[in-house]
Amino acid sequence: MTPTQEPPTQKSGTALATLRELPQNVWNSIFRNPLPSTDLERSSTSFTNFFLHIHPVKVNKNTLRPTYTMGLGLIATFLFVILVVTGVLLMFYYVPSTTQAYDRMLDLRGTVAFGIFLRNMHRWSAHGMVAIVFLHMCRVYFTGAYKRPREFNWVLGVLLLLVTLFLSFTGYLLPWDQLAFWAITVGTSIAGYAPLVGKQMQFVLLGDTTVGQEALLRFYVLHVAVLPAVLVLMMAIHFWRIRKDGGLSRPEVAAAPPPDAGVVKIKKVYGLQGFVRGPFTKLGNVPDNSVYSWPNLLMAELFVFVLTISLILVVALLFNAPLEQPVNVMHPPNPAKAPWYFLGLQEMVSYSAFWGGIGIPGLMVAMLFAVPYIDRTTHGVGKWFAKERLLANTIFLTLVILNVIFIVIGTFFRGPNWTLVSPF
Ligand code: HEM
């Protein structure tokens, strides 16, 4: 029993008293703390509540600065939650069969209550998640947050980005319309350009030599079971690592000299919590720049959640998810385009199949994994575009801009036979 918990309230032992006290006793058995009003209660709430215990009791003020994280990691997390909820609801209607999938899409549009709205929310959240995870990676890079001790969390992040892309890609096929069919045909043919194992990889992915029933089933299973499970597991490790790495990155704080420095040689003493990394756990050597997670961090998270869901609701109300004609394998659209996030690749493939589809992207991903192990410096952490990181930031920014330019060209400036056209 925690110090703040109500003692058992059985007074008279009569059946009537038991009944009267029932609601309060049930409530107390679930929520061990009253709404916290003292620091002890704030700490205790973070420790004992299942949903809150992922948070530290206190966080550094820098973590709460909206301009530092932009809330991007949180937005990605909430988008994933929205995707799971809307995705499960969609599963009640969807059938992964080439003869039924498209009709089910029409049902969602025509007969299922709020069906179109559900599909819109799912679709726009998926696109949003790809973009936000990419932006979150950029924020981590530009603030130098991948550096020691966060190298492994960066590597986990790169894996999270790849799984997010693959999750979105596998979902793309499910409506089984012309857009889905040809985007996946183009996307999987890029995988086929890999030397030696390319064709085998493509076959494993499709379960056949072309996109058909086997591919639809494989993509469905990957999309609704395998990849979400992998993503949840990796996200859990990602969050756990944030705690173990001492919270979010922040600028280094100069240690204050001990008040009696030079007078008596004090042997430094650590409390048990000194084993956990992070400045505010060490005794008396840095200013305490932290605040309680309850309510500060919680309110910030709630705000980001409300913002995310409101935005998705508005977008889902205003714009319908695309649904083109049913699949016609004899009539490829010209040009057939991959999903937008792979259009940079498709653009590069138009110059060189191997280098555009495999060589350069493979090199980029390898470089992403290697970044924290190549850059072993420790300066410029916790600050956007720190002067000390001018070269590293310039290289990364150039690659990001190039990628965006290629995606924009592929999306808006490519017409029939992949010739350049004006979108205006
Ligand atoms: C599904 C995708 C992802 C989710 C849900 C996610 C979630 C989060 C959250 C909630 C945070 C803390 C708040 C914040 O920094 O905004 C965080 C921090 C972090 N993330 Fe991610 N993340 C994802 C992908 C990535 C990617 C792609 C990378 C990099 C390649 C990455 C690297 C990191 C690192 C290094 C931190 C610690 C940052 C610091 O200490 O300042 N994450 N992530």
DSSP codes joined into one string, 178-240? HHHHHHHHHHHHHHTTSTTTHHHHHHHHHSSSSSSHHHHHHHHHIIIIIHHHHHHHHHHHHHH
pLDDT recorded at residue 48? 82
Amino acid at the residue 303: F
Nearest CA to ligand 1 atom 28: 157
pLDDT recorded at residue 285? 55
Q: Is the pLDDT of residue 382 over 80?
A: yes
Burial 351-381 (b: 16+ CB within 10 A, else e): eebeebbbbbbeeeeeebeebbeebeeeebb
Mean pLDDT of 167-186: 96
Mean pLDDT of 402-420: 95
Nearest CA to ligand 1 atom 23: 157
Amino acid at the residue 324: E
CA of 397 to the centre of ligand 1 (A): 18
Which atom number of ligand 1 is nearest to the Cα of residue 143? Answer: 41
Nearest CA to ligand 1 atom 12: 73
User: Could you say which DSSP state residue 416 is in?
Assistant: G
DSSP secondary structure of 388-414: GGHHHHHHHHHHHHHHHHHHHHHHHSB
Nearest CA to ligand 1 atom 26: 157
Q: Is the pLDDT of residue 289 over 90?
A: no
Nearest CA to ligand 1 atom 6: 73
Global pTM reads 0.89
pLDDT recorded at residue 45? 83
pLDDT band at 44 (very low <50, low <70, confident <90, very high): confident
Nearest CA to ligand 1 atom 7: 73
Best mutation site among 80, 139, 140, 162 for ligand 1 pocket (most ligand atoms within 8 Å of CB): 140
Which atom number of ligand 1 is nearest to the Cα of residue 155? Answer: 30
Pocket of ligand 1 (CB under 6 A): 69, 72-74, 76-77, 133, 136-137, 140, 145-146, 150, 153-154, 157-158, 160-161, 164, 235, 238, 242, 248-249
pLDDT recorded at residue 259? 58
pLDDT recorded at residue 368? 98
CA of 157 to the centre of ligand 1 (A): 6
pLDDT recorded at residue 7? 53
Mean pLDDT of 269-275: 53
Which atom number of ligand 1 is nearest to the Cα of residue 368? Answer: 30
pLDDT recorded at residue 246? 92
CA of 78 to the centre of ligand 1 (A): 13
Nearest CA to ligand 1 atom 16: 73
CA of 137 to the centre of ligand 1 (A): 7
CA of 131 to the centre of ligand 1 (A): 13
Which atom number of ligand 1 is nearest to the Cα of residue 245? Answer: 40
CA of 248 to the centre of ligand 1 (A): 9
Which atom number of ligand 1 is nearest to the Cα of residue 76? Answer: 5
Q: Is the pLDDT of residue 110 over 60?
A: yes
The fraction of the chain above a pLDDT of 90, given in percent, is: 76
Nearest CA to ligand 1 atom 31: 157
Q: Is the pLDDT of residue 263 over 90?
A: no
pLDDT recorded at residue 283? 52
pLDDT band at 262 (very low <50, low <70, confident <90, very high): low
Using alpha carbons, select from 165, 162, 173, 179 the residue that is nearest to residue 217: 173
The SS3 call for residue 275 is helix
CA of 135 to the centre of ligand 1 (A): 10
Residue labelled with tokens 């209607």: 93
CA of 111 to the centre of ligand 1 (A): 40
Report d(CA 295, CA 203) in Å as an integer.
52
Q: Is the pLDDT of residue 4 over 50?
A: no
CA of 156 to the centre of ligand 1 (A): 9
Report d(CA 169, CA 290) in Å as an integer.
41
Nearest CA to ligand 1 atom 9: 73
Which atom number of ligand 1 is nearest to the Cα of residue 234? Answer: 1
CA of 399 to the centre of ligand 1 (A): 20
Q: Is the pLDDT of residue 362 over 90?
A: yes
CA of 312 to the centre of ligand 1 (A): 21
Structure tokens at 244: 């173990």
Which atom number of ligand 1 is nearest to the Cα of residue 69? Answer: 16
pLDDT recorded at residue 1? 43
